[in-house]
Amino acid sequence: MTRLLLVRHGDTRLNSGERFWGRTDVELSSAGLRQAERLGERLASHRIDAVYASNLVRAKVTAAAIASAHNLEMTTCPELNEIDFGLVEGLTYNEISERFPDLVKLWANWDIKTNFPEGESIEEFSSRVVRFGSRLEKHTPEETVLVVAHSGTVRLLLCHLLGLELHHWRQMRIGFASLSILETHRNGGVLTLLNDVSHLDSLQTG
């Protein structure tokens, strides 16, 4: 089996918890940098044979904080980028509701045909993420692969690798600097950890 360490980037400077940022190259906040460091400390003793990251800076910086302890270079992959929200990029949910009420109706019903104006549809996003899956086929069953990307990307990868229907992607929570672990087998995947942020506990309480 190939072991996948699926990581979401750390917190960013532009209120990512409230606004929808996809293609915009948002940098990590100071909190996000600390989160990435803690994740790097957690994974320093883990075996990692290869590192893949979205080509957006928030993912690359998070990946570098982990890869540095393993003396590994990362491979950046545009297939792992977050969805392109088009005209919705950078808006809050309330702002989207006011400007694009028809879009919100589809989105609220988790319709996979939702198409963001001048951006991507969820189906297009999914097809792009699935293409990344072919990169994993070259890895041997003994290897551990780190993938650092975005909330939407990680959720779609999990659906694809676990054989779940696409609409389930909205039913997963993937927090900043979270770790999920998936073991891939010839007949499917086994999820052993989901959205774990225990390495951030001291940041939240200290």
Return per-residue pLDDT of the chain as tens, 206 residues.
799 999 999 999 876 667 888 999 989 999 999 999 999 999 999 999 999 999 999 999 999 999 999 999 999 999 999 999 999 999 998 999 999 998 888 877 777 888 899 999 999 999 999 999 889 988 998 999 999 999 999 999 999 999 999 888 888 999 999 999 999 987 789 999 999 999 998 776 44
Number of domains within the chain: 1
Q: Specify if 114 maps to a domain.
A: no
Q: Specify if 184 maps to a domain.
A: yes
Indicate if 160 belongs to the active site: no
pLDDT at 170: 85
Containing domain of residue 77, as a range?
2-85+121-205
Q: Give the closest residue to 99 by CA, choosing from 121, 117, 119.
A: 117
Q: Which of 9, 120, 150, 199 is catalytic?
A: 9
> Pairing between strand 74-76 and 50-53?
parallel
Q: Specify if 107 maps to a domain.
A: no
Q: Specify if 68 maps to a domain.
A: yes
Residue 195: CATH number of its domain: 3.40.50.1240
Measured distance CA(155)–CA(170) in Å, rounded:
8
Q: Specify if 97 maps to a domain.
A: no
Indicate if 139 belongs to the active site: no
Q: Which of 82, 120, 150, 199 is catalytic?
A: 82
